[in-house]
Amino acid sequence: MVALTQTKRFDSLELDCGVTLAPVDVAYQTYGALNAQRSNAILITHAFSGDSHAAGIDPQTQQKGWWDSMIGPGKGFDTDQYFIICSNVLGGCRGTTGPGSLDPATGQPFAMTFPVITIGDMVRLQAKLIEALGIERLLSVAGGSMGGMQVLEWAARFPDRVASAIPIATTPRHSAQQIAFNEVGRQAIMADPDWNSGNYYGGKLPGRGLSVARMVGHITYMSDESMRQKFGRRQREDQGIFEVESYLRYRGSQFVDRFDANSYLYITKAMDLFDLAAGQQSLTAVLERAKTKFLVISFTSDWLYPSYQSQEVVNALRRRNQDVAYIELTSQYGHDAFLVEVDEQAEIVKGFLLRVTKGVNRR
Partner 1 sequence: MTAARQSDPFVRDLLGRGDYAIFSEIVAPQTCVLDLGCGDGELLSWLAENKDVDARGVEMDAAKVQKAIAKGVSCYQGNLEECLADYPDGAFDYVILSQTLQEVRRPLQVMNEMLRVGRRAIVAFPNFGHWRVRLAHLLTGRAPKTTRFPHEWYDSPNIHFFTVDDFEILAARENWTIEKRVFLDGNREVKMLPNLLAETAVYLVRRHA
Q: Is 321 in the site for partner 1 (CB under 8 A)?
A: yes
Among 8, 318, 340, 342, binds partner 1 (CB under 8 A): 318
**CB-nearer residue toward partner 1: 1 or 327:** 327
**CB-nearer residue toward partner 1: 232 or 351:** 351
Q: How far is the CB of 351 from partner 1 (least distance, A)?
A: 4
Q: How far is the CB of 222 from partner 1 (least distance, A)?
A: 21
**CB-nearer residue toward partner 1: 39 or 87:** 39
- The answer to whether 302 touches 145, Cβ cutoff 8 Å, is no
**CB-nearer residue toward partner 1: 215 or 324:** 324
Q: How far is the CB of 199 from partner 1 (least distance, A)?
A: 50
**CB-nearer residue toward partner 1: 81 or 88:** 81
Q: How far is the CB of 346 from partner 1 (least distance, A)?
A: 9
Q: How far is the CB of 142 from partner 1 (least distance, A)?
A: 14
Which distant-in-sequence residues (6+ apart) come within 8 Å of 160 by Cβ? 137, 291
- The answer to whether 305 touches 169, Cβ cutoff 8 Å, is yes
Q: How far is the CB of 338 from partner 1 (least distance, A)?
A: 15
253 annotated active-site: no
Q: Is 190 in the site for partner 1 (CB under 8 A)?
A: no
Among 71, 189, 215, 324, binds partner 1 (CB under 8 A): 324
The CA-CA-CA angle for residues 324, 330, 334, to 5°, reads: 100
Catalytic residue among 68, 78, 260, 302: 302
Among 314, 332, 335, 341, binds partner 1 (CB under 8 A): 314
Which segment (1-9, 23-31, 227-235, 322-330) binds partner 1 by CB under 8 A?
A: 322-330
Q: How far is the CB of 281 from partner 1 (least distance, A)?
A: 16
SS (H, E, C) the chain: CECCCEEEEECCEECCCCCEECCEEEEEEEECCCCCCCCCEEEECCCCCCCCCCCCECCCCCCECCCCCCEECCCCEECCCCEEEEECCCCCCCCCCCCCCECCCCCCECHHHCCCCCHHHHHHHHHHHHHHCCCCCECEEEEECHHHHHHHHHHHHCHHHECEEEEECCCCECCHHHHHHHHHHHHHHHCCHHHHHHCCCCCCCCHHHHHHHHHHHHHHHCCHHHHHHHCCCCEECCCCEEHHHHHHHHHHHHHHHHCCHHHHHHHHHHHHHCECCCCCCCHHHHCCCCCCEEEEEEECCCCCCCHHHHHHHHHHHHHCCCCEEEEEECCCCHHHHHHHCHHHHHHHHHHHHHHHHHHHHHC
Catalytic residue among 145, 223, 226, 310: 145
* Residues in 236-295 that interact with partner 1 by CB under 8 A: 293, 295
145 annotated active-site: yes
Q: Which x/- pattern over 80-119 shows residues binding partner 1 (rule: CB under 8 A)? A: ----------------------------------------
Report the Cα 39 to chain-centroid distance in Å.
23
Q: How far is the CB of 345 from partner 1 (least distance, A)?
A: 10
Q: Is 74 in the site for partner 1 (CB under 8 A)?
A: no
Query: 91 to each of 35, 50, 87, 190, 363, how far by Cα in Å?
Result: 31, 12, 12, 18, 37
Q: Is 16 in the site for partner 1 (CB under 8 A)?
A: no
**What one-letter code names the amino acid at 199?**
N
Q: Which x/- pattern over 331-360 shows residues binding partner 1 (rule: CB under 8 A)? A: -------------x--xx-xxx-xx--x--
Among 7, 175, 177, 330, binds partner 1 (CB under 8 A): 330
Q: Is 329 in the site for partner 1 (CB under 8 A)?
A: yes
- The answer to whether 337 touches 299, Cβ cutoff 8 Å, is yes
> Mind telling me the catalytic residues?
145, 302, 335
Binding site for partner 1 (CB under 8 A): 293, 295, 314-315, 318-321, 323-330, 344, 347-348, 350-352, 354-355, 358
